[in-house]
Amino acid sequence: MVTLCAMRFALCYFLTNDMEAPKESKIEIKAIRGFSDILPDQVGKWQFVEATAREVFEGFGFSEMRIPILERTELFTRGIGEATDIVEKEMYTFTDRGGNSLTLRPEATASLARAYLEHQMYTFDPVAKLYTIGPMFRYERPQKGRFRQFYQIDAEVFGVENPVADAEVIIMLVRFLERVGLEKLELQINSLGCRACRPGYREELRNFLTKKSFGLCEDCQRRLQANPLRIFDCKVETCQEAIADAPKVVDFICPECQGRFDQVKENLNMAGLSYVLNPRMVRGLDYYTRTAFEVVSYQLGSQNAVTGGGRYDNLFQEIGGLDVPGIGFAIGMERLISLLPEEKKFIRYPHLFVAALGEEGFKEACRLVNQLHLQGVWAELDYERKSLKSQMRRANKLNARYALILGEEELKQGKAVLRDMEGKTQEEIPMEGLIDTLRKRI
Ligand SMILES: [Zn+2]
Ligand SMILES: [Zn+2]
């Protein structure tokens, strides 16, 4: 009887969408504003992006490093610079029980640099190519696509002054973005000058903007004195107008900076990468010098900055006194992932649902599922031993690729029913060699 029922039922089974509509959550404690959960149906994209980063970066000779989420506040005030938005208004800073001022890392470069110095990595080899992936924290105004806990993929080369490294890092970045599947990418580059030539430009810019200072917002009035380059990053329209025809930093860089910039461009050409010069890209952080770059995507019509980075030959002196050059980039993962298509390959479904009937069937299902798990086959079964109808409903809800129906009668005959949930066909297959048969299909 069971056999007949199983066969007939499975044959007549039609896919139905009888999932209950989600009810409004009654939970009182919710996630903090700006902090979000990445649910299982989204996590596939994250895993794909992270795995691709690891593969591409390690191919370029980069090693992963994992760094703490908390650091001494001083690391960021000295490393990033006091007069930046990050340090002035966006850091999660608190005093711990021991009276130390600690900060949730707002970015990764300063921590990687600290670790490089602390572990004297330069004694083994002055050149370190490092990457890290993880959450960063900034107290920004929450808005669509912006989070207070956000994720970055960060890569840095420490200990190389030669601009060949600049080009290498940029090439790796662009190749990574292409491998992930982003389209309509534009690489923008600029040179920000060095300690010798940048002050001259800063003065020039300050003089230029002082004449227009009535048009600047309150923040930029202050920036005008502290760091006028940061006015380029201001989103206020009148500020944008004020800097529209401001002098360009590339017109003021010294011959050495110019020579290095030329070499970066030459190496990019050699690698077949096209780029545009963006003289208005100055980067918000104080520690950047010389090469600066951004990659923007036009995939969604408008321009979306996906990532940016640059050279920072002064950072190490700020935090540790050693003169170590560095270059790197940070990719905002939320933005990157928002540009990926909703593809099936990013969602995991069970390969197999094992529906069992009767005592023997359930035992056999448990045994089989355990074996399949060890072979990397995602197999699910019904833990509550419900009716076949309800088991098949669950198989359908989980989007299982196949269902294996173990009826008692069929088991006695050494057989089972394998149902193709997509093609809606089914067949009897022998229990002997079942795992091999399943693995061939899955
Ligand atoms: Zn210079
Ligand atoms: Zn402004």
Q: Which ligand is nearest to the CA of 199?
A: 1
Residues 6+ positions from 143 with CB-CB distance below 8 Å = none
Lowest mean pLDDT among 258-262, 343-347, 379-383: 343-347
CA of 163 to the centre of ligand 1 (A): 13
pLDDT tens readout for residues 213-225: 778 899 889 888 8
Ligand whose nearest atom lies closest to the CA of 196:
1
Q: How far is the CA of 191 from the centre of ligand 1 (A)?
A: 9
H or E element: which one contains 179? Answer: helix 163-180
- In angstroms, the CA 436 to CA 211 distance is 79
Q: Average pLDDT, whole number, for the chain? A: 88
C-alpha–C-alpha distance, residues 431 and 437, integer Å: 9
Instruction: Please give the average per-residue pLDDT across 270-294, as a whole number.
Output: 87
* Span 25-61, pLDDT tens digits: 778 899 999 999 999 889 999 999 999 999 999 999 9
CA of 234 to the centre of ligand 2 (A): 5
Compute, in angstroms, the gap from residue 115 CA to the centroid of ligand 1: 28
Q: What percent of the chain has pLDDT over 70?
A: 93
> What tokens were used for 313?
């030959």
User: What pairs with residue 70 in β-bridges?
Assistant: 104
Q: How far is the CA of 99 from the centre of ligand 1 (A)?
A: 42
As a whole number of angstroms, the distance between CA 327 and CA 291 comes to 8
CA of 410 to the centre of ligand 1 (A): 81
Residue 288 Cα, ligand 1 centroid: separation in angstroms? Answer: 12
Closest ligand by atom to 257 CA: 1
Going from the Cα of 397 to the center of ligand 1, the distance in angstroms, rounded, reads 62
Q: Are 293 and 305 in contact (CB under 8 A)?
A: no
Distance CA 154, CA 59 (A): 16
Q: Does residue 278 have a pLDDT over 80?
A: yes
**Rounded Cα distance, 31 and 353, in Å:** 34
Q: Specify which residues 191 forms β-bridges with.
A: 291
Distance CA 72, CA 201 (A): 33
At residue 439, does pLDDT exceed 90? no
Q: How many whole angstroms from 351 Cα to the centroid of ligand 2?
A: 55
- Residues in the 5 Å CB sphere of ion ligand 2: 217, 220, 234, 236, 239
Give the pLDDT score at 223. Answer: 86
- Residue 431 reports pLDDT greater than 60: yes
* Residues with C-beta atoms within 5 A of ion ligand 1: 193-194, 196-197, 254, 257
Long-range Cβ contacts of 388-396 (<8 Å, 24+ apart) = 388/5, 388/6, 388/9, 388/10, 388/355, 388/357, 389/9, 391/353, 391/355, 391/356, 392/9, 392/10, 392/13, 392/355, 393/16, 393/18, 394/353, 395/350, 395/353, 395/355, 395/421, 396/15, 396/16, 396/421
Q: Which ligand minimizes its atom distance to the CA of 233?
A: 2
User: For residue 312, how far is its CA from the centre of ligand 1 (angstroms)?
Assistant: 13
For 213, residues 6+ apart whose C-beta sits below 8 A from its C-beta are 221, 224
201 Cα to the center of ligand 2, angstroms: 19
Distance 100 CA to ligand 2 centre (A): 34
Residue whose tokens read 């003065």: 203
Centre of ligand 1 from the C-alpha of residue 198, in Å: 7
Contact 355, 395 (CB under 8 A): yes
Q: What is the identity of the amino acid at 421? A: M
Counts of helices then strands in the chain (DSSP H, E): 17, 16
If you measure from the C-alpha of residue 87 to the centroid of ligand 1, how many angstroms do you get, rounded to a whole number? 26
- Nearest partner of 155 among 321, 307, 285, judged by Cα: 307
